[in-house]
Structure 1
Amino acid sequence: MKATVERATLLKCLGHVQSVVERRNTIPILSNVLIEAEDGGLKLTATDLDLQVVDSIAATTDTAGATTVSAHTLFDIARKLPDGSQVSLDVGDGNMKIKAGRYSSKLSTLPRDDFPMIAESELPTTFSLPGGTLAEIIDKTRFAISTEETRYYLNGIFMHVTDGKMYAVATDGHRLARMTLDAPDGAEEMPDVIVPRKCVAELRKLLDENEGDVEIGLSASKIRFRVGTAVLTSKLIDGTFPDYSRVIPTGNDKLLRVDPKTLAEGVDRVSAIATDRTKAVKLTLDKGRIVLSVTSPETGTATEEVPADYDNDGFDVGFNARYLLDILHEVKGEQIDVHLADAAAPTLIREGDNSNALYVLMPMRV
């Protein structure tokens, strides 16, 4: 195999695929990227056996062929080569020779035949979503994905279609985020799926560089995204997502309206003195205002008053400051509606009655 490729093109492609590769692998070839030289281009593939990214780039191919080489090492080399340089990749005798200007190196390779691939198969459900819509779905939900491995069925975004609407939901048991949109053509009969956290993270990186529509294909066990020239394929989480609708409150009768940016800045300031992991912040609701307060036995106290539209009986409620900030940072607009019941009941947060995003936050004792 022998090919020449422009450094920036190679670097961008390696950036798409190498982050899938785990730094530590018990199977050596999983540390490698598969490079296939074909007429007019290179195809690069990386996998961790659960997730696979394939991307294609233009290149001058002198000799077709394929090999695998350390993904992170090749990425580091490409990153440090001079801008505008032409990179020559020449494979032979179990090595890849890399040349660019006055630079040259030789990397060990492993045979292409040993490289595992997630099998290409027909996925019965196919539809498209605008890249911007998919990015918004991810941004407004992924912060609530659980990192607790014992509850593996919460380690991703749950997507399902009901009554012509598509829902994307994430929860860790302490907070819940849900996005709603009209189900795209072709998605009406899709199975309920849980898209793993790592797949979500890799997909979000690809969406930063793509303005067009994303083709999505899925079955009950696998999902595939076509983002520009890249194809991301992932196994789905094999588990049952809980009936999340039961935790979305419907009877919260106390309405608080507040500027999310002002509230976030206040919560951020008062929580700076909190030393415990939960960073509990107390909200004292009163007519026309909220008083934010944090008490830390080791550090001291902090309070801040935030103007708000509130016209009910006053009471105190506590939240994990980080969880509250995660929600406030994703809210767009100058006002949020916070629906409360009491200090122990789940709180519902919306960007307005017509918003497609909804959040539920469990209170804390303070």
Structure 2
Amino acid sequence: MRVILERSNLLKSLNHVHRVVERRNTIPILSNVLLGADGESLSLKATDLDLEVTEATPARVEQAGATTVPAHLLYDIVRKLSDGSEVMLKLDESGNAMSVVSGRSSFRLQCLPQSDFPELTAGSFTHRFQMPAEALKRLIDKTQFAISTEETRYYLNGIYLHAIEADGRLRLRSVATDGHRLARAETEAPSGCEGMPGIIIPRKTVSELQKLVDQPDLQVSVELSDTKIRFTIGSIVLTSKLIDGTFPDYQRVIPTGNDKKLLIDRQSFAQAVDRVSTVSSERGRAVKLSIGDGMVTLAVNNPDSGSATEEVAADYAADPIEIGFNAKYLLDVAAQLSGGEAQFMLADAGSPTLIQDGSDADTLYVLMPMRV
């Protein structure tokens, strides 16, 4: 194998694939990236056995071939090469080492044979559809912060993506919850979603996908089955196993009878929460909201360090209510709202609160209160 390509092209592709590779691996081949030179391109592939990313980049192939080299090491080398340079990758005749040459720099990396590299068998996909990258990114961005990190309830460690009939139209909906908060976003379902199974996309896959759908004008091709999902974004193909579990009936926790309506300026509220929570304990992070006529008083009391209060003007005409929330959760939700105004629908101090975006009817958030 002997191939020459632009450093910028190689770095961009390595950046997409090397993140999948775990830093610590008990199986040596999983630390490597598979390089294949053929035709007019170099293909790169990395996997952790649950997630696989491949990408092809333009290259001048002088001799076709394939090998595997340490992914993070190759990425670090290419990252440190000078801008605008060309990189030559050349496999030794023995096949045990690959030279990386650029200008006056030369590196020699140990290889493992291509035949050892595992293949993530995709099987057959039952559903296929295409959607704008912008729409997919929105479904992810608006919900991923609420994914649970608690491994015991593994079925909450991802985003639940499913098609649902709402108001006579088919909608594609994403939901994430960790039991303390819930985020839901939806968009018009693309053609091909009909009858698709409800699937749980793992947290790591969500994180990688988020970085890949950064160009809003791209179309993303989505293929899925009960156990796998594949995204094709330009020259990048991401294949992932799905979480094998049943997502809970989230509809049950979305309150419908909350009748106390609070309208408040999103930015002023978020800044006030951020300020008063400075004195809160790391463990508790509780902020108490005393909501009355035209005013919300935020208060934090930490026996170890002190207390803080701040008042924020609001539109509220129902009975006064005192309710506590985790400050971080409030800030996470506020960061997702795009409108100038946040709408809280409250019931009482012990019931879930519904938060909606004044300028986005396709998203909603549910927060469980805290005792304060």
TM range, smaller chain: over 0.9
Match of 1:99 in 2: 101
Q: Residue 121 of structure 1: CA displacement?
A: 3.4
Q: Which residue of structure 1 aligns with residue 34 of structure 2?
A: 34
| Residue number in structure 1 paired with 2:235 | 229
Aligned position for 1:351 = 357
Higher mean displacement: 292-301 or 113-122: 113-122
Paired with 1:100 and 1:345, the residues of 2 have a C-alpha distance of: 63
For 1:269-302, what per-residue CA distance to the aligned partner results, in whole angstroms no more than 9, with x for missing partners? 0001112323100101011110011001111011
Match of 1:182 among 188, 203, 206: 188
TM-score (norm 1): 0.98
CA distance in 2, matches of 1:139, 1:277: 26
The equivalent of 2:67 in structure 1 is 67
For residue 162 of structure 2, the aligned residue among 160, 163, 180 is: 160
Give 3-state SS (helix, strand or coil) of 2:111's partner: strand
Q: Structure 1 regions of 5+ residues with no counterpart?
A: none
Q: Is the 8 A contact 1:210 1:228 kept in 2?
A: no
Equivalent in 293, 296, 303 of residue 290 of structure 1: 296
Q: Distance in 2 between matches of 1:100 and 1:179?
A: 47
Contact 2:139 2:173 survives alignment (8 Å): no
Q: Does 1:198 align with 2:204?
A: yes
Matching residue of 1:132: 134
Q: How many residues align?
A: 366
SS in structure 1 of the partner of residue 140 of structure 2: helix
The SS at the match of 1:338 is: strand
Query: Would you say the 8 A contact 1:210–1:227 is kept in 2?
Result: no
- The alignment status of 1:80 with 2:80, answered yes or no, reads yes
For residues 201-252 of structure 1, give each alpha carbon's deviation from its aligned partner in whole angstroms, at most 9, with x where no partner exists: 0001111246311000000000000111100000000000000100000000
Question: Which residue of structure 2 aligns with residue 310 of structure 1?
Answer: 316
CA distance in 1, matches of 2:120, 2:99: 28
What corresponds to 1:110 in structure 2?
A: 112
Q: Which residue in 2 is equivalent to 1:341?
A: 347
Partner SS state of residue 12, structure 1 = helix
Which residue identity lines up with residue 158 of structure 1 in the other structure? Y
The aligned amino acid for 2:60 is T
User: Match for residue 123 of structure 2?
Assistant: 121
Residue in structure 1 matching 2:151, options 149, 156, 168: 149
Contact 1:42 1:56 (C-alpha < 8 Å) held by counterparts: yes
> 1:354: how far off?
5.9
Distance in 1, Cα, partners of 2:86 & 2:360: 52
Tell me, what secondary structure is at the counterpart of 2:163?
strand
Is residue 132–residue 216 contact of structure 2 (8 Å, CA) maintained in 1? no
Distance 2:365 2:324 in 1: 16
User: Matches of 1:132 and 1:313 in 2, distance apart?
Assistant: 41
- Alpha-carbon separation, structure 2, partners of 1:305 and 1:340: 19
8 Å CA contact retained: 2:100, 2:106: yes
> Could you tell me which amino acid in structure 2 is paired with residue 358 of structure 1?
L
Q: Distance in 2 between matches of 1:156 and 1:218?
A: 16
Secondary structure of the corresponding residue to residue 110 of structure 1: coil
- Quick one: distance in 2 between partners of 1:207 and 1:67? 29
Q: 1: CA distance between counterparts of 2:266 and 2:141?
A: 17
Q: Aligned partners of 1:165 and 1:340: how far apart in 2?
A: 27
Partner of 1:207: 213
Verify: 1:53 aligned to 2:53, yes or no. yes
The answer for the alignment partner of 2:306 in structure 1 is: 300
Contact 1:131 1:214 survives alignment (8 Å): yes
Once superposed, which parts of structure 1, at least 4 consecutive aligned residues long, lie more than 4 Å away?
Answer: none
Q: CA deviation at 1:167?
A: 1.3
Deviation, structure 1 residue 312: 1.0
Instruction: Please say if residues 128 and 216 of structure 1, whose CA atoms lie closer than 8 Å, have aligned partners that are also in contact.
Output: yes
Query: Contact (CA 8 Å) 2:69, 2:109: kept in 1 or not?
Result: yes
Scaled by the length of structure 2, the TM-score of the pair is 0.97
Corresponding residue SS for 1:281: strand
Structure 2 distance, partners of 1:157, 1:51, is: 15
Does the 8 A contact of 2:288 with 2:300 survive in 1?
yes
Cα deviation digits, residues 302-329 of structure 1 (max 9, x gap)? 1111111000111210000001110000
| Aligned equivalents of 2:14, 2:54: Cα separation in 1 | 10
